[in-house]
Chain A
Amino acid sequence: MKHWLRHQKHALTTALRRLLSQPVVTLLTALAMGVAISLPSALYLMLGNLNRLAGDLPAQPEISLFLAADVTPVQKSLIAARLKQADIAQARHIPKEQALTALSASQDLADITAGLTENPLPDAWVVRPQASTPEALTHLASELGKLPGVAETQLDSQWIERLQAALAIGRTGVWLLGGLLAIALMAISSNAIRARVLTRRDEIHVSHLIGATDRYIRRPFMYLGALQGLLGGLAAGVVLALAGGMLHAPVAHLSSLYGASFQLLPPAGTEIAIVLAITTLTGWLGAWVAATRTLHQTSAPR
Chain B
Amino acid sequence: MISFNQVTKRYPGGHEALSSINLVIEKGELVFLTGHSGAGKSTLLKLIAAIERPTSGVVSVNGQNISRLSQRAVPYLRRNIGLVFQDHKLLFDRTVIENVVLPLDIAGFDRREALKRARAVIDKVGLLNREKSNPVSLSGGEQQRLCIARALVSRPALLLADEPTGNLDAGYAADIMAMFRDFHQVGTTLVIATHDDRAISALGGRTLHLDHGKITEGAA
Residues of A near any B CB (own CB < 8 A)? 2-4, 6-7, 10, 202-203, 205-213, 216, 301-302
CB within 8 Å: A-B pair count? 54
Known: A212-B75, A301-B52, A301-B53. A207 touches B108 (CB 8 A): no
On chain A, the residues within 8 Å of B111 by CB distance are 6, 10
| Cα A4 to Cα B51 with chains together (Å) | 26
On chain B, the residues within 8 Å of A202 by CB distance are 89, 91
A-B contact pairs, 17 of them (CB 8 A): A4-B108, A202-B89, A203-B91, A207-B106, A209-B85, A209-B89, A210-B78, A210-B79, A210-B83, A210-B150, A211-B77, A211-B103, A213-B72, A213-B75, A216-B106, A301-B51, A301-B52
Question: Quick one: CB contact mask for B73-105 with A, threshold 8 Å, 1 for yes?
Answer: 001111101010100011101000000001101
| Cα A207 to Cα B102 with chains together (Å) | 8
User: Which residue on chain B has the smallest CB distance to residue A200?
Assistant: B93
Residues of B near any A CB (own CB < 8 A)? 49, 51-53, 72, 75-79, 81, 83, 85, 89-91, 93, 102-103, 105-111, 150
CB distance from B53 to the nearest CB of A (A): 7
The reply to whether B150 and A211 contact each other, CB–CB distance below 8 Å, is no
On chain A, the residues within 8 Å of B109 by CB distance are 6
The reply to whether A212 and B106 contact each other, CB–CB distance below 8 Å, is yes
User: Which residue on chain B has the smallest CB distance to residue A9?
Assistant: B111
The reply to whether B93 and A209 contact each other, CB–CB distance below 8 Å, is no
Known: A6-B108, A203-B91, A216-B106. A209 touches B78 (CB 8 A): yes
On chain A, the residues within 8 Å of B150 by CB distance are 210
On chain B, the residues within 8 Å of A302 by CB distance are 51
Provide the main secondary structure of the chain A interface.
helix
| Cα A203 to Cα B93 with chains together (Å) | 9
User: Which residue on chain A has the smallest CB distance to residue B150?
Assistant: A210
On chain A, the residues within 8 Å of B51 by CB distance are 209, 301-302
For the complex of A and B, list the 6 residue pairs with the smallest distance between their C-beta atoms, beginning with the closest: A3-B108, A211-B79, A211-B78, A213-B75, A212-B106, A211-B75
The reply to whether A206 and B89 contact each other, CB–CB distance below 8 Å, is yes
On chain B, the residues within 8 Å of A206 by CB distance are 89-91, 102
| Cα A2 to Cα B107 with chains together (Å) | 12
On chain B, the residues within 8 Å of A301 by CB distance are 51-53
Q: Of B72, B83, B108, which contacts A7 at CB under 8 A?
A: B108
| Cα A207 to Cα B99 with chains together (Å) | 10
| Cα A203 to Cα B89 with chains together (Å) | 9
* 11 further interface pairs, Cβ-Cβ under 8 Å (given A206-B91, A209-B85, A213-B72): A2-B108, A202-B89, A206-B90, A209-B51, A210-B79, A210-B103, A211-B75, A211-B79, A216-B106, A301-B52, A302-B51
On chain B, the residues within 8 Å of A212 by CB distance are 75, 106
User: Which residue on chain B has the smallest CB distance to residue A208?
Assistant: B75
On chain A, the residues within 8 Å of B91 by CB distance are 202-203, 206
User: Which residue on chain B has the smallest CB distance to residue A212?
Assistant: B106
